[in-house]
Amino acid sequence: MSKMMRMALSKSLRDEQGQALIFALIMLAVGSLIVVPLLAFMSTGLMAAQTAEERMKGLYAADAGVEGALWNVKADVPELPDVSDPPWQYNITDDINGRQVAVELDSVWILEGLEDPIHGVLPHTELVVVGAVVDLDTGLYEVEVTYDGTIGNVRVDRIGVWLPVKPPPTFGYEEGSSLGMSGENPNIVSARGGIALIWDFQPAILFKTDEVTSKSQFFTMTGPVGKDPPGDFAWVRTTRHDIYLSWDGGNATYNVTATATDSGTGKQTGILARIFRDTTGVVGLVTWEASIQ
């Protein structure tokens, strides 16, 4: 290597002294700026995942209380309350996901929120109401009202049908499909996690004394083909106070409150559900709502 080239290389090396250190310090500073927020982000994500996991454990524990209540209703255990009884309160014996689960099961008047209970909350055997889908393929629904004629003239001024809309599937009324006791479309109102179809009659429809009489109201129900709406029921109202209301007698409705309490922290997860049991013994959920403390 020539003397001139050696002199040029030596000068170049002298010019670059300290640049690697400066670069390293810059990278260290940048790394510090990135690592600290990254660690904080990872810590926050881990805490969020743990919180979500604890919430899910609480929901699963409370839901076990609801599932147990469904089983009790289906089995028709002796402890099930009637409408006039106080709620049945009990605890699940074993802890679930480290939580104690308390359940309150309360029988609800089937027409709660639909009719006034001022004239009684018991159905009448003299006036029998049966509501059911009579053709699953077309959705044809019949409400049959039968009076045994034993207590004088009875005038019916209302027929109602309750249909579920959640959880899915959703059922409804096909516009213009009414026939029988009324050819008019019903008034449709939201009620108890579903809809109520209500036909009001002016004048009221007469069922005569000393005559066994059956009359029907038909309509076409919308919804999935071939499905029977879970928990549906029908009722009638009359102009008499001694036989004011009657409904599908084999149906029952219950409110369930299941509360899961964390044994360590005391935090609670609650589920409020409404359960039905129909005339065939089918049991299911009408509504389900969770609350987390």
Residue 278 reports pLDDT greater than 50: yes
Contacts of 58 (CB under 8 A, 6+ apart): 97, 99, 260, 262, 267, 268, 269, 292
Residue 9 reports pLDDT greater than 50: no
Torsion angle defined by CA atoms of residues 21, 22, 26 and 27, in that order, rounded to the nearest 10 degrees:
-30
The backbone torsions φ and ψ at residue 54, rounded to the nearest 5 degrees and listed phi first, read -65, -40
What confidence score (pLDDT) does residue 17 get?
Answer: 56
Class of domain 117-247: mainly beta
What confidence score (pLDDT) does residue 72 get?
Answer: 94
Instruction: Tell me the pLDDT tens digit for each residue of 220-244.
Output: 999 988 888 888 999 999 999 999 9
Instruction: Tell me the pLDDT tens digit for each residue of 175-198.
Output: 999 999 999 999 999 998 899 999
User: Which whole-number Å values give the CA distances from 27 to 22, 82, 163, in the listed order?
Assistant: 9, 75, 68
Task: Report residue 2's pLDDT band, with 50, 70 and 90 as the boundaries.
Answer: low
Extents of the domains making up the chain: 1-110+251-293, 117-247
How high is the mean pLDDT of the chain? 86
- This prediction has a pTM of 0.76
Residue 270 · residue 62 · CB < 8 Å: yes
Q: What is the mean pLDDT of residues 207-229?
A: 94
Quote the tokens at residue 262.
């964390």
